[in-house]
Amino acid sequence: MLNWTPRWHIDLEPWASESQSLEDEAKRFLSYITTQQVSCASLRGKKADQEGSIGAWAVCLDPNYKLIRRIKSRHCRVYSFGLGVDDRSLESSLAQSGCEVHCFDPSLKQPHLQQAEMWLHRLSVDWRDPSPAVVAQRQYASTKKLATILNDFGHREVDVLKADMESAEWKILENLILERVLDSVGQLLLELHLHWAGFEVGGDEPSVVRYWYSLLKELERSGFHLFHIHSDPAKPHIFLQKNVLNASSAYTLSWVNTQWRPLGKPDRTQK
């Protein structure tokens, strides 16, 4: 169903300075993730955030973006990926508004389960598909690429993609960019973990931060603009195992795809 040709690597941005220092790379990166790119007057999830609830997830319901129209016409679909205990208040709110909500949790005992107006699936997203030998041994795959999940479910697009992948987000984001899967996503909500480089991210510290920044610039070139930023004051201030510019170890960011052109309505059938 996803017919584009994948790229093989992202384009790295030029170094922040000739010195190629960690401080200069971190300063550029942190400035980028803490600067709102587009305004959103109507945030769902903001009230819970202000009241100090767990999580800081927010979607934009401004009429100049498509989500509110999709909700009103009941054409809205939400994918939520999380590991361990996660706050699903935003998902519940969107489900009650009429969105088709799919929550993915590889620890479930059943392959699929409908609960409180949401579908739960024993599955999570990864930056690669599992080996066929592993699938055969386990009888099912617990992780798949997002492109594979969309194909398996017969879904062409996702209005809201929420993911807290506990440091796997960088390689997953790279895969979504290289395979152009983000063309099918309306809003992206992602928690970034900065206390270490992340799974399978290599290089010295300045190179790691340059790679992070380059991924987010690729995201911007794909039409995604940052509208909501949150850092939990309770999180430790650790950036690549040290204190750099007093940065938090985790930021929750929300982007809207300003180039998104949804194709149609969700299928209400479930595999």
- Token pair, residue 21, equals 């220092």
Series of mean pLDDT values for 10-residue runs along the chain (271 residues) = 66 97 98 97 69 69 94 95 77 95 90 89 90 58 90 96 93 95 96 96 98 98 96 92 96 96 60 39
Q: Tell me the C-alpha to C-alpha distance, in Å, between residue 207 and each of 31, 160, 177.
A: 17, 31, 19
- Give me the number of domains the chain comprises: 1
Query: Which pLDDT belongs to residue 1?
Result: 43
pTM across the whole model:
0.90
Q: Which helix (H) or strand (E) holds 185?
A: strand 185-193
Query: Which pLDDT belongs to residue 45?
Result: 80
Is 251 inside any structural domain?
A: no
Query: Which pLDDT belongs to residue 38?
Result: 97
Is 270 inside any structural domain?
A: no
Query: Which pLDDT belongs to residue 15?
Result: 98
Cα–Cα distance measured from residue 241 to residue 104, given in angstroms and rounded to the nearest whole number: 30
Is 59 inside any structural domain?
A: yes
Residue 115 near residue 91, CB atoms below 8 Å = no
Query: Which pLDDT belongs to residue 49?
Result: 44
Is 85 inside any structural domain?
A: yes
| Number of residues assigned to the chain | 271
Report the CATH number that the domain containing residue 64 is assigned in CATH: 3.40.50
Is 7 inside any structural domain?
A: no
Is 54 inside any structural domain?
A: yes
Residue 25 near residue 202, CB atoms below 8 Å = no
Is 58 inside any structural domain?
A: yes
Is 13 inside any structural domain?
A: no
Q: Which domain holds residue 67?
A: 28-232
